[in-house]
């Protein structure tokens, strides 16, 4: 099927796979391109609504029944949606961000992230692994960990904040004329691809 505008995705049945390989099936109830979120209606005994940050979506698949091309325009014209209070949506998202807990890390006196215990069978926290990757790429003197804000700062030009994803709200240029932004972004993208491959046994 072809999509001419985003309004046509409303009420489509989809299967969403997250970066953590969680599968969610439901109907697209609403979306916000500015907040980069989807609202998903999950029909059960009582409808459940899930708000999903699009930066955590690995894949999305449209499921049948597919909309009839002839009736699509009438269907969406007659569709009545309840209004969404943007302020309440923002409060909800902020509360979920606060609830998100990054695994604690040990910080040395030089404000760098301590390396994980090599004798442990557990994988080191994401922030450890990401910090180590940037150190290998750019050198320890170019990378530091801000323990107060839980940020990784590279070249004093780029700040990556938790949960350290590719979302633009987590990736900040501290200098407008930064020359390392593209390189750091590519390294971050490669890091998450490696994490995803590990989870799939690749």
Per-residue pLDDT tens over the stretch 155-193:
888 888 887 887 777 788 888 888 888 888 888 888 888
| 99 pLDDT higher than 70 | no
Q: How many CA atoms lie within 13 A of 125 on its CB side?
A: 16
| CATH code of the domain containing 67 | 2.30.30.100
Residue 111 lies in a domain: no
Domains held by the chain: number: 2
Letter string b/e over residues 29-66, b meaning 16 or more CB atoms within 10 A of that residue's CB: bbbbeeebbbbbeeeeeeeeeebbbebbeeebeeeeee
Q: What is the DSSP letter of 26?
A: E
**Average pLDDT of the segment spanning 108-131:** 58
pLDDT at 109 over 50: no
pLDDT of residue 89: 73
55 lies in some domain: yes
Q: Report if residue 52 sits inside a domain.
A: yes
pLDDT digits (tens, 9 = 90+) for 60-98: 898 887 766 555 444 445 555 566 677 777 777 766 666
Longest Cα pair distance anywhere in the chain, in angstroms? Answer: 67
List the domain range (segments joined by +) for residue 131. Answer: 126-199
Total residues found in the chain within this entry: 202
Tokens encoding 117 = 């215990």
Among 63, 87, 111, residue at a domain's last position: 87
Last residue of a domain, one of 87, 118, 144: 87
Q: Which residue has the higher pLDDT, 148 or 110?
A: 148
pLDDT of residue 15: 93
pTM of the model: 0.38
184 within domain boundaries: yes
The reply to whether 25 falls in a domain is yes
82, 132: one domain = no
């Amino acid at each position: 099927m072809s999509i001419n505008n985003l309004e046509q995705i409303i009420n489509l049945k989809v299967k969403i796979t997250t970066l953590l390989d969680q599968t969610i099936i439901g109907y697209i109830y609403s979306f916000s391109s500015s907040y980069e979120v989807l609202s998903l209606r999950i029909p059960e005994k009582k409808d459940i609504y899930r708000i999903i940050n699009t930066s955590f979506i690995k894949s999305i698949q449209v499921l049948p029944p597919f909309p009839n091309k002839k009736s699509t325009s009438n269907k969406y014209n007659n569709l009545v949606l309840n209004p969404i209070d943007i302020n309440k949506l923002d409060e909800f998202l902020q509360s979920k961000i606060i609830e998100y807990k990054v695994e604690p890390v040990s910080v040395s006196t030089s404000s760098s992230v301590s390396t994980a215990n090599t004798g442990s069978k557990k994988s080191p926290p994401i922030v450890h692994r990401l910090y180590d990757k940037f150190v290998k790429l750019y050198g320890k003197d170019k990378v530091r960990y801000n323990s107060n804000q839980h940020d990784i700062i590279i070249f004093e030009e780029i700040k990556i904040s938790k949960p350290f994803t590719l979302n633009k709200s987590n990736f900040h240029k501290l200098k407008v004329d930064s020359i390392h932004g593209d390189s750091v972004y590519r390294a971050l993208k490669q890091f998450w691809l490696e994490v995803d491959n590990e989870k799939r046994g690749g």
